[in-house]
Amino acid sequence: MAVLDRVIVGEMQGSGDYLSTISTAADNAFDAGAVVIAANGNNGPNASTVNAPGSAHRVIAIGAFDVQTQAQYANQSRGPTPDNRFKPDVQTPNNTETASTGCPFGVQCAMSDTAFRSFGGTSGATPYGAGAAALLRNWLRGTSFSIDPGQVYAHMILSGQQPYPFNNISGAGPLRLPTDGFAWWGKVSVRDGQTIEIPVSVSGSPNRFDAALWWPESAWQFLFITVEQHNDVDLSIIDPGGTTRASSISIPSVFERARVSGSIASGTWKVRIRGFNVPASPQTVYWAAAAHRQ
């Protein structure tokens, strides 16, 4: 466990679930203003094997692919969580060379300034996710002292390269921070059946328009009863002509991500957020959008 500014990096492979003590602590850290990035775990390929606190409600869990081959890390834990959310949230590379003790895995020995070792597992990928989160947080907060961590999470999902539909192997996909363009972000409160349209003015010659949502849900345990409420919020991208160009309508997810590729016309685009099924309304939803070149 390490703390990078207000980004907490969890390399731990806890065996509890999303209601365990460590998961609750991670959720509380988010509520206190921290971005929490955790390894998805190395218990795959069987389903529902995500470790704590990666499985927590208010944590971005990091899956892994090989840095050289781009192949899926076979042992990566798979979602869903027990309450059916997709995990991991995004993926970053592992098997990169890092400074280490140079000891074989599982063997304790003195630190070295010269030894190198390939850092595998989702633990080897998580620092890249945390580094990206720290960069995003610093950029998003600008000259402010702090920023709501949910805003960083929405940008992490936005930076995943897997638009809807999602799966429990890659989530929102491999992480790649957007460059060479413009980004917009914010936070809204969505009620059941409500539609909110957020206009963004696009100019220049971008070839991608991406949008993403992330929202924090909760669960409580009272005696032996678990109380949890899932809210289904949908996302669409509307072009200046009023045409829906992309949608993300996952039912079990707590994030959505949509993409329009090709020629992006200048004008006013809209990010449409719809409370499709929000029984525990209102739900706070963080959104992010980017028009950029890739």
Partner 1 sequence: MIPFRVGKRAAAALILAAACSSPECSNASTPNGRSERRWTAVFEKETWYRDRTEAEQVFTGVLVRRTSPRGPGARLGLTYALQVGTGELPIYAARVEQSFERYVGQTITVRGKVVDFSAAEGSGKELWVGGLSASPMSP
- The window from 44-52, 151-159, 259-267, 280-288 that contacts partner 1 (CB under 8 A) reads 44-52
CA atoms within 13 A on the CB side of 286: 19
* Interaction between residue 174 and partner 1 (CB under 8 A): no
**What are residue 276's phi and psi, to 5 degrees?**
-70, -45
User: Long-range CB contacts (< 8 A, 24+ apart) of 236-242?
Assistant: 236/271, 236/272, 236/274, 237/209, 237/211, 237/269, 237/270, 237/271, 237/272, 238/197, 238/269, 238/270, 238/271, 238/272, 239/265, 239/267, 239/269, 240/202, 240/265, 240/266, 240/267, 240/268, 240/269, 241/265
181-190 and 255-261 beta bridge pairing: unpaired
CB of 272 to partner 1, least distance (A): 36
CB of 117 to partner 1, least distance (A): 9
Interface with partner 1 (CB under 8 A), residue total: 28
* Interaction between residue 221 and partner 1 (CB under 8 A): no
CB of 78 to partner 1, least distance (A): 9
Closest C-alpha to 286, from 191, 217, 235, 215: 215
* Interaction between residue 70 and partner 1 (CB under 8 A): no
Two structure tokens written together for 286: 């963080």
* Interaction between residue 11 and partner 1 (CB under 8 A): yes
The residue (of 18 and 119) whose beta carbon lies closer to partner 1 is 119
CB of 168 to partner 1, least distance (A): 12
* Interaction between residue 17 and partner 1 (CB under 8 A): no
The residue (of 76 and 231) whose beta carbon lies closer to partner 1 is 76
Interacting positions 124-153 with partner 1 (CB under 8 A): 124
Q: Which amino acid is at 95?
A: N
The residue (of 24 and 51) whose beta carbon lies closer to partner 1 is 51
Q: Which residues contact 23 (CB under 8 A, 6 or more apart)?
A: 14, 16, 17, 52, 53, 55, 56, 57, 59
Two structure tokens written together for 2: 């390490």
CB of 29 to partner 1, least distance (A): 20
The residue (of 168 and 248) whose beta carbon lies closer to partner 1 is 168
* Interaction between residue 99 and partner 1 (CB under 8 A): no
* Interaction between residue 66 and partner 1 (CB under 8 A): yes
Residues 16, 23 contacting (CB under 8 angstroms): yes
The residue (of 123 and 162) whose beta carbon lies closer to partner 1 is 123
Closest C-alpha to 43, from 68, 67, 64, 22: 64
* Interaction between residue 109 and partner 1 (CB under 8 A): no
CA atoms within 13 A on the CB side of 192: 7
- The window from 48-56, 159-167, 202-210, 255-263 that contacts partner 1 (CB under 8 A) reads 48-56
CB of 111 to partner 1, least distance (A): 14
Residues at the interface with partner 1 (CB under 8 A):
11, 13, 15, 39, 41-49, 51, 66, 73-75, 77, 95, 105-106, 118-121, 123-124
